[in-house]
């Protein structure tokens, strides 16, 4: 959980232990308070297994300090101080080992997804991500580009950038069922939607959300990551096929619900940012000349559009957050679409006027 809850729990447990009859008149309360406080204050987000060594050293040092303090105050011998410090260091080691060992079980019981789990699921060699890269390469490239946008924006507003990146990796896994029906995976030539009715096409697009949820359950994705699958589309309209169903003359669509994503709308800052990045990244690709000014205009348009549709109503984002998010999107796109110098053609390089011979 967090430092405050850990500190309160350590104090309560120290008082309960020190109040037991067998420990009355001993220094158990003081030792447990010092050790527990050191553990609570030293723990941070665990991203690597070797961080456990640092926690053992910190907590062990606290017990050593407490033992020396008590020994000098009560006139203990060096051997007594050493024994007390030794038990404290052993306690630190056992506690950290138990915490790391029990963390997966604790996650399942509490529904909390730790950073260590997110790091594990960020491995691009995971089966689902490997399938995405091989079976839907366009979606995979779109996902990787989005992940850079989402992580930068999340970190800038104080949200969980790691969760944003990992959740974005998996947000479109439902497209694995029919990758050829999504434009980013069509290398050119005939579009399979040309032979379908608009309603059928919209159903295929809508179904990728449920198919993604099914894949997430099948592969035991943590709930925090799986939430990106339905929430990144929210309850937005599948506008391309909805307009196609209208026939271009504005006629009413018989069943509007068939052209609306199932939702829900984003419930967290991370899934809301993923939604915005999804729309922005896809729209910027349409631009023939993605200049910084035009990219910023597209970003402003997408954010304003999603707000007008009510897609951000349940996400914990302020107007100031949205300004920061837009600024981060623009910054990342500026670095992605940077200019490169011409390399001399005489030495086999490529210039802006390159032509194969």
Is residue 30 scored above 60 in pLDDT?
yes
User: Sorting pLDDT into bands at 50, 70 and 90, what band is 355?
Assistant: low
Q: Per-residue pLDDT tens for 278-324?
A: 999 999 988 888 899 999 999 999 999 999 999 999 999 999 999 99
> Do residues 273 and 227 lie in contact, with contact meaning Cβ atoms separated by under 8 Å?
no
pLDDT, one tens digit per residue, over 99-141 is 888 988 888 888 889 888 999 999 999 999 999 999 999 999 9
Residue pointed to by tokens 């490169």: 340
What's the first-to-final CA gap in the chain, in angstroms? 63
Does the structure show a pLDDT above 70 at 341?
no
Residue 314: what pLDDT?
97
Q: Fill in the DSSP letter of residue 342.
A: P
pLDDT value for 191: 86
How far apart, in whole angstroms, are the C-alpha atoms of residue 202 and residue 139? 18
The predicted pLDDT at position 153 comes to 98
Provide the pLDDT for residue 249: 64
Cα–Cα dist 142/277, whole Å: 10
CA distance 293 to 219: 42
Residues 224, 164: contact at Cβ < 8 Å?
Answer: no
231 alpha carbon, distance to own chain's centre: 13
- Identify the pLDDT of residue 156: 97
Looking at the chain, the whole-number percentage of residues with pLDDT higher than 90 is 70
Q: What is the DSSP string of 69-122?
A: HHHHHHT--HHHHHHHHHHHHHHHHHHHHHHHHHHHHHHHHH-PPPHHHHHHHT
pTM, rounded to two decimals: 0.85
Neighbours of 246 (CB within 10 A): 14
Q: What's the chain's average pLDDT?
A: 90
How many C-beta atoms surround the C-beta of residue 103 within 10 A?
Answer: 15
Distance of alpha carbon 54 from alpha carbon 56, whole angstroms: 5
pLDDT of amino acid 70: 93
218 vs 211: CA distance, rounded Å = 10
What is the rounded distance in angstroms from the CA atom of residue 123 to the CA atom of residue 126? 6
User: Angle, nearest 10°, between helix axes 292-308 and 319-336?
Assistant: 140
Query: Does the pLDDT of residue 194 top 80, yes or no?
Result: yes
Mean pLDDT of the 253-272 span: 91
The pLDDT confidence band at residue 1, using thresholds 50, 70 and 90, is confident
How does pLDDT run across 64-113, given as a tens digit for each residue? 999 999 999 999 999 999 999 999 999 999 999 998 889 888 888 888 89
Retrieve residue 243's tokens. 């307009």
Integer CA distances (angstroms), 102 to 39, 56, 107, in order = 16, 16, 9
């Amino acid at each position: 959980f967090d430092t405050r809850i850990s500190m309160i729990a350590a104090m309560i447990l120290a008082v309960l232990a020190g109040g037991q009859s067998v420990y009355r008149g001993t220094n158990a309360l003081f030792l447990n308070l010092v050790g527990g406080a050191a553990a609570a204050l030293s723990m941070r987000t665990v991203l690597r297994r070797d961080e456990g060594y640092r926690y053992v050293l910190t907590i062990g040092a606290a017990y050593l300090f407490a033992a020396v303090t008590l020994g000098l105050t009560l006139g203990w011998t060096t051997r007594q101080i050493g024994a007390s410090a030794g038990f404290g260091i052993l306690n630190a080691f056992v506690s950290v080992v138990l915490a790391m060992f029990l963390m997966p079980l604790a996650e399942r019981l509490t529904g909390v997804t730790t950073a260590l789990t997110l790091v594990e699921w960020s491995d691009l060699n995971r089966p689902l991500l490997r399938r995405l890269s091989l079976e839907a390469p366009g979606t995979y490239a779109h996902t990787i580009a989005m992940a850079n946008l989402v992580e930068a924006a999340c970190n800038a507003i104080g949200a969980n950038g790691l969760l944003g990146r990992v959740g974005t990796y998996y947000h479109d896994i439902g497209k694995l069922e029919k990758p050829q029906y999504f434009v980013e995976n069509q290398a050119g030539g005939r579009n399979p939607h040309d032979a379908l009715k608009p309603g059928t096409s919209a159903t295929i697009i809508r179904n990728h959300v449920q198919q993604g949820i099914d894949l997430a359950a099948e592969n035991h994705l943590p709930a925090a990551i799986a939430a990106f699958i339905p929430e990144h589309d929210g309850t937005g309209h599948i506008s391309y096929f909805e307009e196609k169903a209208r026939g271009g003359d504005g006629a009413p669509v018989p069943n509007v619900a068939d052209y609306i994503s199932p939702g829900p709308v984003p419930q967290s800052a991370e899934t809301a940012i993923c939604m915005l990045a999804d729309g922005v990244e896809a729209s910027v690709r349409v631009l023939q000349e993605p200049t910084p000014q035009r990219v910023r205009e597209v970003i402003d348009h997408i954010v304003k559009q999603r707000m007008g549709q009510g897609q951000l109503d349940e996400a914990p984002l302020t107007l100031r957050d949205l300004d920061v998010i837009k600024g981060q999107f623009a910054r990342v796109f500026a670095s992605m679409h940077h200019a490169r110098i011409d390399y001399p053609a005489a030495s086999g390089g490529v210039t802006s006027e390159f032509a194969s011979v």
